[in-house]
Chain A
Amino acid sequence: MGPISNSSSLTAAEAGLVSCHSCRLLCRAGDQVKSGHPYCPRCHAPLHPRKPASLSRTWALVLAAMLLYIPANVLPITQTTSLGHTQSDTILSGVVYFMISGSWHIALIIFVASILVPLVKLVVLIYLLLSVQFKWLWRPRERTRLYRLTEAVGRWSMVDIYVVTVLVALVRMDALASVTAGPAGLYFAAVVVLTMLAADSFDPRLIWDTAKERK
């Protein structure tokens, strides 16, 4: 390996190295291809310089999540039967219920986790995909930070699924009161899972690769 200063301007790819996605060991790209076993010698993960087919995989997952976001919000997520009277609630009407009944902090949690986070996550991922696709140079550092934030925050959308699970478990009094999960639950769960997979398949190093190419 050549002399590299503490913070070089050289990337692993430019130095002919592959950083293992799993354990981050630096491996010589040439050695691995020659031996016919592109696996990390420490953790046995398959080695590749960038996540494979990152852009097309992320696009596919994002588009699927966008489509499912519609039934997730339009269809009822819970059906509550209380003394013969049945009420269907969508995610949004659940938020409104909490606001009216005075639990505005709960309304805020559900609104942020179930409506805002998935939506913002999709918008951010589309923006990042477009920025790489069209080789935009604008603020790579901020775009990287945006990506890390999106990746970290996405799992919290699962909170509504757990609320439905606990309600369904507890309120099973048959004629007196019962809660059943509505069809939106599965669509919403799919949105959360797909956006998590989409964030995972996006490779932030592509942001920096294009910045370098243009120079």
Chain B
Amino acid sequence: MVKATAATAYIACPACDLLHLRRPVPAGTTARCTRCATPLYRNRGRSLEWPLCLVLAASILFAISNLFPFLTLKIEGRTEETVLMTGIMALYHQGQLGLAALVLLTGLVCPLLQLVGYVYVLLSLHTGAGSSFAAEAYRWVRHVQPWSMIEILLLGILVSVVKLAGMAEVMPGVALYAFMILIFILPAAMVAIDAVSLWDRFPIAAA
């Protein structure tokens, strides 16, 4: 934990720039801007282990959901198994390179980077002071995060199942169950981390 200096004793609202003195708030609550009500920081407790456990669990679930079949479709005796990559490859073979790339990025690459990034950042803070590389990594992970859309992907899958239910027999695979747990574990991990207090653990270079 870095000693509070003038630079960390105050915080500016990200939405209206108003300066606030950082005061501790009760556990589980959020300090909000007095002028525009935007959340400033949250008290999630000091523990790094809890979000680290959740992120590790999410990584395992993510691996399962990409390695095992998602859905199995039966039409007139013929079966068709899919993983997420199947859909991306099918789009690619239809000449939809842009769509294939977007689904690959938002459904696979960004979630993977998000998980790997958080495991790395939390582990390096757990074992000692955050290095300058870890700070850089955390900054990039936070850029990637909005583009990791697994919860939206799950909604898309459920909608397609309803759409197909009329014309074929659709059976959920192991991956779908793993995925359903994942979309609760990953947001729980993100909620367990307050960005402002995580940044407090990184050293500030002398000017």
Chain A residues packing against B (C-beta within 8 Å): 1, 4-13, 15, 17, 19, 22-27, 31, 35, 41-45, 82, 98, 101, 103, 106, 109-110, 140-141, 144-145, 147-148, 155-156, 158-173, 176-177, 180-181, 185-186, 189-190, 193, 196, 200, 204-205, 207-209
Contacts and interface: CB of A to CB of B under 8 A. Distances in A.
Given A17-B19, A144-B16, A208-B18, 14 more contacts: A10-B19, A42-B205, A43-B135, A106-B159, A106-B162, A155-B152, A159-B152, A162-B157, A163-B163, A166-B71, A170-B80, A171-B80, A185-B99, A208-B17
B75 A167 contact: no
Contact of A165 (B88, B195, B204): B88
A98 B161 CA distance: 13
Interface in B3-27: 6-8, 10-12, 14-21, 23
Given A13-B17, A42-B202, A19 B12 contact: yes
A15 B21 CA distance: 13
B18 to A, nearest CB: 5
Contacts of B38: 144, 148
Given A13-B17, A22-B139, A186-B99, A170 B10 contact: no
A158 B35 CA distance: 33
Interface in B77-111: 78, 80, 82, 86-88, 90-91, 94, 96, 98-99, 102-103, 106-107
A110 B103 CA distance: 18
Contact of A169 (B82, B135, B138): B82
B146 interface: yes
B156 A31 contact: no
B164 A167 contact: yes
Nearest to B207: A31
B181 interface: no
A214 to B, nearest CB: 15
B80 A41 contact: no
B99 A144 contact: no
Contacts, number: 220
Contact of B36 (A9, A141, A161, A209): A141
B99 A164 contact: yes
Contacts of B16: 11, 140, 144, 204-205, 207-208
A144 B19 contact: no
A204 B102 CA distance: 28
B37 interface: yes
Given A169-B86, A181-B91, A44 B98 contact: no
A168 B102 contact: no
A23 B157 CA distance: 35
Nearest to A25: B7
Nearest to A39: B205
A166 B156 contact: yes
Nearest to A154: B146
Contacts of B76: 176
8 contacts: A12-B17, A19-B17, A31-B207, A43-B202, A106-B162, A141-B36, A165-B91, A170-B82
A144 B36 contact: yes
